[in-house]
Amino acid sequence: MSHSVEHGSLFGVETEVLLASIVDSSSDAILGQSPTGTLTTWNRGAERMFGYSSEEIIGKPVRVLIQADRQDEMELILARVQNGERVEHYQTVRVRKDGSAIAISLTVSPILNSSRKLVHISSIAREITETKRTEESAIKERECLAELERFKTLTVGRELKMIELKRELAELERELVSLRPQPAAPRAANA
């Protein structure tokens, strides 16, 4: 049996209250911002991820979460969203309240009114710091293994070369011995 939320309630709970509870209980950071980038909503997931309470952050520009060297990135994202595009799973880095960096996967969506005019922006951030560390470790491990394999190949190649050189040296020594005049056999004494 399916339930509809068309009439404004589901199981006796108002749709807005239900949706607010779902958003607030998410472990992902879910935030709303004005078309110009002012933060307007901030869930508990955002509080945990970034370290700001909603009272501290609402009304501030979203730029407070962006590293100085990534400010242009926000301009590009806002331009795309203002054109009605959705930016999905954009991997980037943001800044926590304590100044530490956090790797995130960011989805930014335009909220349009009935006239298709941008009225709000929804952002969902999922922390991927550990995933990035795991990926970086795997890359480093592959690089180390490749270097080790190269070293083994060089070492084996050098060892084979040494064996070859030892053979050649032994051959040269045999040739030298064969070229040396042989001492004359002692003559029998004449009696």
Same domain, 76 and 17: yes
Q: Which one of 107, 127, 147 terminates a domain?
A: 127
DSSP string, 97-117: TTS-EEEEEEEEEEEE-TTS-
Residue 185, both tokens: 């056999």
User: Would residue 191 count as lying in a domain?
Assistant: no
Same domain, 118 and 144: no
Same domain, 81 and 120: yes
Share of the chain above pLDDT 90, in %: 41
Same domain, 30 and 115: yes
Least confident among 11-25, 65-79, 130-144? 11-25
User: Would residue 182 count as lying in a domain?
Assistant: no
Mean pLDDT of 101-129: 92
Note the pLDDT tens digit of each residue in 125-149: 999 977 777 778 878 888 878 888 8
Same domain, 64 and 77: yes
Same domain, 79 and 65: yes
Please say whether the beta carbons of 121 and 34 come within 8 A.
yes
Q: Tell me, what's the pLDDT at 48?
A: 94
Same domain, 32 and 114: yes
Same domain, 16 and 104: yes
H-run or E-run covering 31: strand 29-33
Would the pTM count as exceeding 0.85? no
Domain that holds residue 75: 9-127
- CATH number of the domain that 71 lies in? 3.30.450.20
d(CA 124, CA 109): 9
Sign of CA dihedral 29, 34, 39, 41: negative
Q: Which one of 127, 142, 168 terminates a domain?
A: 127
| Total Cβ atoms within 10 A of residue 186 | 6
Q: Tell me, what's the pLDDT at 22?
A: 77
> What's the number of domains the chain is made of?
2
For residue 175, give every residue at least 6 positions away whose Cβ sits within 8 Å of its Cβ, in sequence order, or none.
none
